[in-house]
Amino acid sequence: MSLLRRAPALTLLVMLGPVFAGLAGTLLPAFGILPALGRVEPGLMPFSELAAWPGLPRAVALSLGTGLGATLLALALTVLICAGWQGTRSFRWLERALSPLLSVPHAAAAFGLAFLIAPSGWIARALAPLLGWERPPDLLILQDPWGLSLTAGLVVKEMPFLLLMTLAALPALRPGQSLATARSLGYGRSAGWLKTVFPRLYPQIRLPVYAVLAFSMSVVDVAMILGPNTPPTLAVQVLRWMNDPDLALRLRGAAGALLQLALTLAALGIWRLGEIAVARMGRAWIETGARGSHDAPVRALAIGAGALSALAILLGLVALGVWSVAAFWGFPAMLPDAFTAKSWMKQGPQLLAPAGDTALIALIATGVALALVLACLEAEHRFGLRPSARALWLLYLPLIVPQIAFLPGLQILALVSGIDGTLAAVIAAHVIFVLPYVFLSLADPYRGWDRRNALVGHALGASAARVFWRLRLPMLLRPVLTAAAVGCAVSVGQFLPTLLLGGGRVQTLTTEAVALASGGARRVIGVTALAQTAAAFLPFALALLVPALVWRNRKGLRHG
């Protein structure tokens, strides 16, 4: 019983301890201390070197611009789609199409998108006969200096996340009733939704939005594939310094990692100011009483953009699939000269061992996270603990602190303690990132469970533990499995934590995919990215299938 009471504290320790320990490990080299290189004198050298790097202003501007732009666009799209289409059949279709896309790993989505929009990609190939292109046009579409393709890649991948977060928060707000009232007063669908539902919705999705902003600014793999490289974004440049043959550059890299952290905080500050400004303007707009009844163009734009995002990821996956079975495939052919299973025959067997480790790590990390989250929620329920807003912030901390800022420090820590290169170290690192997502997915359904069931149970003589095991958990089977699936998908997608704490000895589908991707061979990328996507998608399929099977004779429970 007392153990259960301590569950929230234990959970925070497991999640935040490594983040702070890792940050401390980054702080020292940033101020010039790296004993392995004989640097023991503290100083500001790394920062002055960082400031002297000619690409700094552009790299910083790029990180800020792409991060803020991608977040703003993804949020605007999400809100407009919900405003214009919530409750319609098209909305349900889009919801169904977007949810699985959440499980597509970022790198795989980025590769797919890159092949679609490149000047030698599918779109250009489709246009080639019409425009008479025999060669791909020399256009700077991918890796453009403004980071537009990077922003687009982030938007299509983050929008499904925000949409699902919104969908989770919406039911409690009873948007149907608000909208019906607003429409009966003559408001258009979108305007009515924006004026009555959105102001109550935003506080519910604020933290996920912040997480998207922080992630977009510090993402490494997507930025390497779609982002510019003359110079790249700050996060990519920091990684380059950390990996430079000149070991002294690691000090500059550590300073850059701290700058990245400061930049993320600054962006969150800018966003917060933007929130206040939008709230003011929004209030004024609401008070005008404008009915906004002609919203057809906005609605069309929203659903069009939403469908386009879904299509981009799906077509990208198809492209990866075609590449994985392609023999020679030159420009401007729409399809390869011939198909061959060579790539799969060659790569497939080599992927089996990493696939096993991927599954093992994902299952254990998710299991640990799930147990901690359930213990927290059950403690909340039994002891009447109310999580404060601050506790929620703590939950989001691992998602907001840039990975590059604390993982290298964490690696040193693991080395000192001698657990590096083990599955345990990798699993512990995965738990840091899996936990917040599992908590976010499970908290609302868990708290929303009808307590009268428990009362009936107790009245019949069942203990609190028995109510938990025999009533609550089985009834919440579907949300628990969904949360587990989200956790597995997050674990499967982790690259930096696996690389740094696994010391290269723990290989997962993602580390294999990124290592092979460095060779740029599209066929191999196709095979590994599809395997990675399958690994992330499988748990989602199971989360749908298992409750349907277990509760095939309990109609009311099948849909959680």
Which two three-digit tokens encode residue 438? 């599992």
Residue with smaller CB distance to other proteins, 24 or 455: 24
Three-class SS state of 34: strand
In whole angstroms, how close is the CB of 470 to other proteins at the nearest point?
47
Which two three-digit tokens encode residue 426? 């990798």
Q: Which of 41, 138, 287, 450 binds other proteins (CB under 8 A)?
A: 138
Compute CA distances 502 → 361, 414, 511, whole Å: 11, 10, 10
Residue with smaller CB distance to other proteins, 144 or 275: 144
Three-class SS state of 449: coil
Residue with smaller CB distance to other proteins, 224 or 492: 224
Taking a C-beta distance cutoff of 8 angstroms, is the pair 541, 361 a contact? no
Taking a C-beta distance cutoff of 8 angstroms, is the pair 77, 152 a contact? no
List the one residue out of 158, 177, 154 whose CA is nearest residue 166. Answer: 158
Stretch that binds other proteins, among 296-304, 439-447, 513-521, 547-555 (CB under 8 A): 513-521
In whole angstroms, how close is the CB of 493 to other proteins at the nearest point?
16
Taking a C-beta distance cutoff of 8 angstroms, is the pair 66, 227 a contact? yes
Three-class SS state of 326: strand
Q: Footprint of other proteins on residues 78-97 (CB under 8 A)?
A: none
Q: Which of 68, 254, 476, 524 binds other proteins (CB under 8 A)?
A: 524
Using rule CB under 8 A, residue 504 touches other proteins: yes
Using rule CB under 8 A, residue 514 touches other proteins: yes
Q: Footprint of other proteins on residues 233-272 (CB under 8 A)?
A: 240, 242-247, 250
Cα(29)–Cα(26) distance, rounded to whole angstroms? 6
List the one residue out of 113, 536, 525, 104 whose CA is nearest residue 343. Answer: 525
Tell me, by CB under 8 A, how many residues bind other proteins: 72
Using rule CB under 8 A, residue 297 touches other proteins: no
Give the x/- contact pattern for other proteins in 13-52, rule: CB under 8 A.
---------------------xxxx---------------
Using rule CB under 8 A, residue 132 touches other proteins: no
Give the x/- contact pattern for other proteins in 321-360, rule: CB under 8 A.
-----xxxxxxx-------x-x---xx--x----------
In whole angstroms, how close is the CB of 340 to other proteins at the nearest point?
7
Q: Which of 17, 55, 171, 274 binds other proteins (CB under 8 A)?
A: 55
Residues 190-224 as b/e (b if ≥16 CB within 10 A, e otherwise) read bbbbbbbbbeebbebbebbbbbbbbbbbbbbbbbb
Cα(189)–Cα(481) distance, rounded to whole angstroms? 35
Residue appearing with tokens 């234990």? 10
Using rule CB under 8 A, residue 447 touches other proteins: no
Using rule CB under 8 A, residue 287 touches other proteins: no
